[in-house]
C-alpha cells in the first residue's frame, strides 16, 4: 500500500484488498515459520526492561543490541559480522546489499544475505546518533536475517521488503517497527537550534503497520490494560490507526484466530521467561558458564569503546587528507578588525538615545583612518590559515597537520580559490587518491593494532626459542653421564 484511500472515512484503515492481503500473508507466514512467538513471545518495548545492555555509542554497543534481538528471535548462538559505514565517502568500505530508498527514507541498517555464518549486518555511522531510530531498524534487519536463517525465501524488491515488515511481527518486534514506521521529532541543528525531523522505516504504510499490530493484539486476546501499554509506546498517528483497526476486527466473522489458522489459547505453550531472555548475553561459541558480555565490558574498562555517535563537526574530519596553508597578507583582516568596530559602535551611538551624541562626521573619518592604519600594520604580518572551507584554523609555519581538522599540510597557496587546482596537481603526482586520501596513509589506530600483532608474534618467537633452548639443555644434561662414561 502506497497510501490510504481517498475516502476520509477510510483514511485510518488500509483498503479492503490490502487488509485481506495482510491477513492472508500473516497466516502463510505463521504456517511456514511457526506461530509460537507470534502469540506467546514478548512484545518488545523500547525500555531498559527489554534492552538492559549498556549503550556507549560505538560498534560494540550496536553488536550487543543485535545479539539481544537475535536472542529474542531464537538465534542466540549465531555469529555476527558488523560493518559500520562512515559518512565520509573516502573512508566508506564497499557498501553491499543495501536496500533502495523506502518511502523516501534511506535505510540506516540492513542484513547482508549470503553465507549462513556469520550473519552479516551493516549500519550507517550517522544512525548511532539516534538510537531510538537505530534499534527498530536493527530489529527489521534481524527479521530479514531470521528469514534467511530459517530457509524462508525473500524475493528482491518491494515484495521481499514487505515480507520482512511482516516477519518483524512474528518475532515480537512489531511494536518497535510500527512506532518507527513514521516518526516526527525535533533534531539538533547545532548550538541552541532545533529543526523538525521525520524518519520512516520499511515499505508498508503507517496504516498497514498499525493494522498488523492490532491484528497481533487481537490474536493474542490482549486485555484493555495491555493494549493501553502498547498505545503508550506509539506515535499519535499509529495509536489512532491501531484503535480503528481494533474496532474493525472486533466484530469479524470468522474470527481473527480462525483466519490466521491459530489453535485455541488452551493449547498454546507457556510463555518464555523474559528474565532469561533479558539476562546477560554470553559471547558467541562460548562454553556453558563462560565469560558473558557483562564480564567482557568489565575487563575492557581500560580500553573504552570508541564513540561513533558524536557529531564532531570539523574536528579530525580531514585526518589522512591533504590540506594547504593559505598565506595572505594580514592587511585586510587588520583593517576590518580596527575599522568596523568603530564604525558600528559610532553609528549606534549617533542614532540611539543613549545620552551620548557623536556625529557621524567624526565617526566616519575615524573609522577610515583606523582602517588605513590597519592596512599599513597588517601588511607587516602574514596570515596563515587552513584551506579547508569549514575549518580556516590559524596555522604556524612549522605545522605539518592542522590542529583542528587534522589534515596533512601539503603545500602553500595564496588564495582559497587555488585549493581545488592544488588538489588536482597532487592527484596527478600520485600523492593523493581520487577520494582525497594520502597515498599510503594509515590510521594510527590501525598502525597500533599492527604493531601489537607484530609484538605478539615476536614474543611467540621468543617463547619458541626459549623452549628450544630449554629442550636442548635438558637433552645435553641427559647425555652428560653417557659422555662421561665413554670418556672414562
Q: For residues 365-369, give the mean pLDDT.
A: 87
pLDDT single digits (tens) 256-298: 999 999 999 999 999 999 999 999 997 665 445 544 555 555 5
Q: How far apart are CA 149 and CA 446, in angstroms?
A: 33
Residue 70: which residues within 8 A CB-CB, separation 6 or more?
76, 78, 80, 119, 142, 145
Q: For residues 22-47, give the mean pLDDT.
A: 97
pLDDT single digits (tens) 165-181: 999 999 999 999 999 99
Quick one: pLDDT at residue 145?
A: 97
Quick one: pLDDT at residue 378?
A: 80
Q: How far apart are CA 144 and CA 203, in angstroms?
A: 13
pLDDT at 366 over 90: no
Query: What does the H/E/C string look like for the chain?
Result: CCCCCCCHHHCCCCCHHHHHHHHHHHHHHHHHHCCHHHHHCCCCCCCCCCCCCCCCCCHHHHHHHHHHHHHHCCCCCCCEEEEEECCCHHHCCCCCCCCCCECCECCCEEEECCCCCCEEEEEEHHHHHCHHHHHHHHHHHHHHHHHHHCCCCCCCCHHHHHHHHHHHHHCCCHHHHHHHCEEEEEEECCCCCEEEEEEECCCCCHHHHHHHHHHHHHHHCCCHHHHHHHHCCCCHHHHHHHHHHHHHHHCCCCCHHHHHCCCCHHHCCCCCCHHHHCCCCECCCCCCCCCEHHHHHHHHHHCCCCCCCCCCCCCCCCCCEEEEEEEEECHHHHHHHHHHHHHHHHHHHHHCCCCCCCCHHHHHHHHHHHHHHHHHHHCCCEEEEECCCCCCCECCCCCCECCCCCCEEEEEECCHHHHHHHHHHHHHCCCECCCCEECCCCCHHHHHHHHHHHHHHHHHHHHHHHHHHHHHHHHHHHHHHHHHHHHC
User: How do the domains of the chain map onto residue ranges?
Assistant: 8-187+195-283+295-302, 322-416
pLDDT at 119 over 70: yes
Quick one: pLDDT at residue 99?
A: 95
Nearest to 338 by CA among 301, 375, 303: 375
Q: Determine the Cα angle at 123 with ends 117 and 128, to 5°.
A: 135
pLDDT single digits (tens) 298-348: 544 457 888 998 888 888 889 999 999 999 988 888 888 888 888 888 877
Q: Determine the Cα angle at 254 with ends 241 and 260, to 5°.
A: 70
pLDDT at 482 over 80: no
Q: How far apart are CA 303 and CA 134, in angstroms?
A: 25
pLDDT at 66 over 90: yes
Q: How large a percentage of the chain has pLDDT more than 90?
A: 62
Quick one: pLDDT at residue 210?
A: 98
pLDDT at 143 over 50: yes
Q: How far apart are CA 201 and CA 243, in angstroms?
A: 21
Q: Do the beta carbons of residue 262 and residue 30 sit within 8 Å?
A: yes
Within its chain, how far is the Cα of 76 from the centroid? 22
Q: Do the beta carbons of residue 327 and residue 384 sit within 8 Å?
A: yes
Quick one: pLDDT at residue 295?
A: 54
What are 385's strand-pairing partners?
326, 394
Q: For residues 392-396, give the mean pLDDT.
A: 94
Q: Do the beta carbons of residue 154 and residue 167 sit within 8 Å?
A: no
Q: For residues 24-40, give the mean pLDDT.
A: 97
Instruction: Name the band, by pLDDT with cuts 50, 70 and 90, for residue 150.
Output: very high
Amino acid at each position: 500500500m502506497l497510501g490510504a484511500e481517498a475516502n476520509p472515512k477510510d483514511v485510518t484503515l488500509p483498503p479492503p484488498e490490502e487488509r485481506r492481503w495482510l491477513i492472508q500473508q500473516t497466516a502463510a507466514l505463521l504456517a511456514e515459520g511457526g506461530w509460537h512467538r507470534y502469540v506467546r513471545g514478548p512484545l518488545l518495548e523500547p525500555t531498559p526492561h527489554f534492552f538492559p545492555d549498556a549503550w556507549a555509542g560505538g560498534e560494540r554497543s550496536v553488536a550487543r543490541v543485535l545479539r539481544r534481538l537475535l536472542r529474542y528471535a531464537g538465534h542466540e548462538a549465531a555469529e555476527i559480522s558488523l560493518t559500520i559505514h562512515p559518512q565520509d565517502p573516502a573512508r566508506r568500505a564497499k557498501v553491499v546489499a543495501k536496500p533502495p530508498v523506502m518511502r523516501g527514507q534511506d535505510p540506516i541498517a540492513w542484513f547482508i544475505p549470503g553465507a549462513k555464518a556469520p550473519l552479516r549486518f551493516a549500519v550507517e555511522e550517522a544512525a548511532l546518533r539516534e538510537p531510538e531510530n537505530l534499534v527498530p531498524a536493527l530489529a527489521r534487519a534481524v527479521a530479514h536475517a531470521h528469514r534467511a536463517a530459517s530457509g524462508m525465501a525473500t524475493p528482491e524488491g518491494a515484495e521481499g521488503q514487505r515480507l520482512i515488515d511482516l516477519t518483524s511481527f512474528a518475532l515480537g518486534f512489531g511494536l518497535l517497527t510500527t512506532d518507527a514506521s513514521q516518526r516526527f521529532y525535533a533534531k539538533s541543528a547545532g548550538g541552541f537550534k532545533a529543526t523538525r525531523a521525520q524518519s520512516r522505516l520499511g515499505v508498508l504504510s503507517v496504516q498497514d503497520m498499525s493494522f498488523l499490530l492490532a491484528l497481533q493484539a487481537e490474536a493474542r486476546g490482549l486485555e484493555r490494560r495491555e493494549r493501553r501499554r502498547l498505545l503508550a509506546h506509539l506515535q499519535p498517528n499509529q495509536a489512532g490507526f491501531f484503535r480503528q483497526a481494533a474496532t474493525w476486527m472486533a466484530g469479524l466473522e470468522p474470527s481473527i484466530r480462525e483466519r490466521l489458522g491459530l489453535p485455541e489459547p488452551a493449547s498454546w505453550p507457556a510463555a518464555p521467561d523474559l528474565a532469561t531472555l533479558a539476562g546477560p548475553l554470553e559471547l558467541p561459541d562460548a562454553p556453558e558458564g563462560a565469560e558473558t558480555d557483562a564480564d567482557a565490558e568489565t575487563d575492557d574498562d581500560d580500553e573504552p569503546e570508541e564513540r561513533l555517535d558524536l557529531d564532531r563537526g570539523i574536528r579530525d574530519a580531514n585526518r589522512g587528507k591533504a590540506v594547504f596553508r593559505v598565506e595572505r597578507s594580514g592587511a585586510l583582516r587588520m583593517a576590518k578588525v580596527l575599522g568596523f568596530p568603530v564604525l558600528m559602535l559610532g553609528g549606534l551611538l549617533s542614532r540611539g538615545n543613549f545620552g551620548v551624541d557623536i556625529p557621524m562626521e567624526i565617526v566616519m573619518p575615524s573609522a577610515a583612518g583606523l582602517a588605513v592604519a590597519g592596512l599599513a600594520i597588517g601588511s607587516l604580518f602574514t596570515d596563515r590559515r587552513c584551506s579547508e572551507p569549514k575549518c580556516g584554523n590559524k596555522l604556524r609555519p612549522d605545522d605539518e597537520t592542522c590542529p583542528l581538522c587534522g589534515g596533512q599540510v601539503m603545500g602553500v597557496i595564496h588564495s582559497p580559490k587555488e585549493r581545488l587546482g592544488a588538489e588536482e596537481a597532487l592527484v596527478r603526482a600520485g600523492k593523493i587518491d581520487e577520494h582525497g586520501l594520502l597515498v599510503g596513509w594509515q590510521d594510527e589506530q590501525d598502525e597500533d593494532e599492527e604493531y601489537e600483532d607484530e609484538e605478539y608474534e615476536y614474543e611467540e618467537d621468543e617463547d619458541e626459542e626459549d623452549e628450544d633452548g630449554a629442550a636442548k639443555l635438558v637433552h645435553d644434561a641427559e647425555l652428560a653421564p653417557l659422555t662421561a662414561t665413554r670418556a672414562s
